[in-house]
Amino acid sequence: MSAAAHSVVEPTPASKRIAGAIIILYAVVSMVPLFWIIATSFKTPPDSIAYPPKLVFTPSIEGYCNLFTTRTRQTAEYIASLPPPENFCDEVTRKRNMVIAGPSNFLPRFVNSLIIAFGSTFCAVFLGTLAAYGFSRFKVPLADDLLFFILSTRMMPPIAVAIPIYLMYRELGLSDTALGMILLYTAVNVSLAVWLLKGFIDEIPREYEEAAMIDGYTRLQAFRKVVLPQATTGIAATAIFCLIFAWNEYAFAALLTSGTAQTAPPFIPTIIGEGGQDWPAVAAGTTIFLVPILVFTILLRKQLLRGITFGAVRK
């Protein structure tokens, strides 16, 4: 046991503690903004702009009320003439001399984000898997050049082509459509998907498919039964990277969507304008916006870890 304590593979308790402390410090630094956003979302508007900032406060869901509703200012007499408030949101709105006029656009924008981000991720990963398999297993003419071409689409910031895409989309009638955004994000992500997945599929020995093909399966069936199950970690990791890009993308969304297909990122900042600096509502929107990625990442965290470290440890 004393030998193990000094071996290269087994870190000493002291070094473990130091490593742990560094990780905790880094985690705290990275998570403070997140906690601040979540905390702000539960503050009242006066608390959210209080100086010095309030670390201890009475939680309120006013921000969430404001996020999901639009409100109009009314006279005190009119508000007094109304029947008693039905719920907390009604009550808190009336205290600010306002009444709820109707639902806000946040929910449809959020649904747009879900459709566009998950739709484009599915398309990018689907196309990427097939292309990566092709490049990995077949003699594709000019394979290296094609792969380089695919990679080269990532060599400039996508926003550099914003103007041509804007004009193209206007001509094609794709502006402000979910389809247009899905196509755009798929096009940006597919190169990442091809390269990442090719790495994963290259590491799956061909013998497995050959065995399946001798066992009575066609190549496509062998791909589905033998290659896909073994590529799941790679596919999951790729899907997370694609999803994070499509989910967070702001510039194209702000440029190409304004109405029916608008996603959450360009919508959330517009909340600020409605009735003063409503930081709790913005924070509430951001908090809800974080949830899908958080859930998706937690569900696939093992694969993500493997995806980040892939290539580091093999065989």
Partner 1 sequence: MSDILLSGVSKVFGDTQAVADLDLHIGDGEFVVLLGPTGAGKTTTLRLVAGLEKPDGGSIRIGGRDATTLEPAARDVAFVFQQYSLYPHLSVYDNLAFPLRSPARRMPEDQIGRRVEEVARMVRIHHKLANRSTRLSGGEMQRVAIGRALVRRPSIYLMDEPLSSLDAKLRGELRLELKRIQAELGATVLYVTHDQTEAMTMADRIGILAEGRLVQIGTPRAIYTEPANLHVAAKLGQPVINLMPVGLLPATVVPPGTQTIGARTEHLTIAQAEDGHADGVVDWIEHLGDQNHLHLTVKDRKLITLADADTPLRKGDPVTIRLRNPLFFDGGGNRIGGETQ
Query: Pick from 23, 167, 211, 272: which binds partner 1 (CB under 8 A)?
Result: 211
Contact pick of 230, 248, 270, 297 for partner 1 (by CB under 8 A): 230
User: How do 69-73 and 98-103 pair as beta strands?
Assistant: antiparallel
Q: Are 132 and 237 in contact (CB under 8 A)?
A: no
Out of 37, 98, 201, 226, point to the residue binding partner 1 (CB under 8 A). 226
1 binds partner 1 (CB under 8 A): no
Alpha-carbon distances of 83 from 73, 75, 77, 102, 248, rounded to whole Å: 17, 15, 12, 17, 42
Q: Is 276 in the site for partner 1 (CB under 8 A)?
A: no
Interacting residue with partner 1 among 53, 103, 205, 276 (CB under 8 A): 205
Interface residue with partner 1 among 216, 298, 312, 313 (CB under 8 A) is 216
Nearest to 201 by CA among 130, 151, 143, 120: 130
- Count the residues of the shown chain that bind partner 1, applying the rule CB under 8 A: 17
* Nearest distance from C-beta of residue 232 to partner 1, angstroms: 8
Name residues contacting partner 1, limited to 126-165 (CB under 8 A).
Answer: none
CA distance 33 to 200: 34
What angle do the packed helices 279-299 and 301-309 form, to 10 degrees? 80
> Could you say whether residue 215 binds partner 1 (CB under 8 A)?
yes
Q: Check binding of 213 to partner 1 (CB under 8 A).
A: yes
Strand partners, 103: 69
Tell me how far, at minimum, the Cβ of 167 lies from partner 1, in Å: 48
* 224 binds partner 1, rule: CB under 8 A: no
Distance CA 267, CA 287 (A): 14
Region from 13-21, 172-180, 205-213, 291-299 binding partner 1, contact rule CB under 8 A:
205-213
Q: Which is nearer to partner 1, 103 or 229 (CB)?
A: 229
Q: Which residue, 6 or 315, is less far from partner 1 as judged by CB?
A: 315
- Report the C-alpha gap between 231 and 243 in whole angstroms: 18
Out of 92, 190, 212, 236, point to the residue binding partner 1 (CB under 8 A).
212
Cα(76)–Cα(45) distance, rounded to whole angstroms?
20
Q: Are 193 and 127 in contact (CB under 8 A)?
A: yes
Is the CB of 202 or the CB of 215 nearer to partner 1?
A: 215
Tokens standing for residue 184: 């755009």
For 72, phi and psi rounded to 5 degrees? -125, 145
* Paired tokens of 190: 């597919």
CB 229, min distance to partner 1, A: 4
Q: How far is the CB of 144 from partner 1 (least distance, A)?
A: 17
Q: Which stretch binds partner 1 (CB under 8 A): 4-12, 103-111, 182-190, 221-229?
A: 221-229
Counting every residue written for the chain, the total comes to 315
Interacting residue with partner 1 among 145, 202, 210, 274 (CB under 8 A): 210
Nearer to partner 1, 53 or 205 (CB): 205
Counting Cα atoms < 13 Å in the Cβ hemisphere of 211 gives 8
In whole angstroms, what is the distance from residue 284 CA to residue 63 CA? 6
Interface with partner 1 (CB under 8 A): 205, 207-208, 210-218, 221, 225-226, 229-230
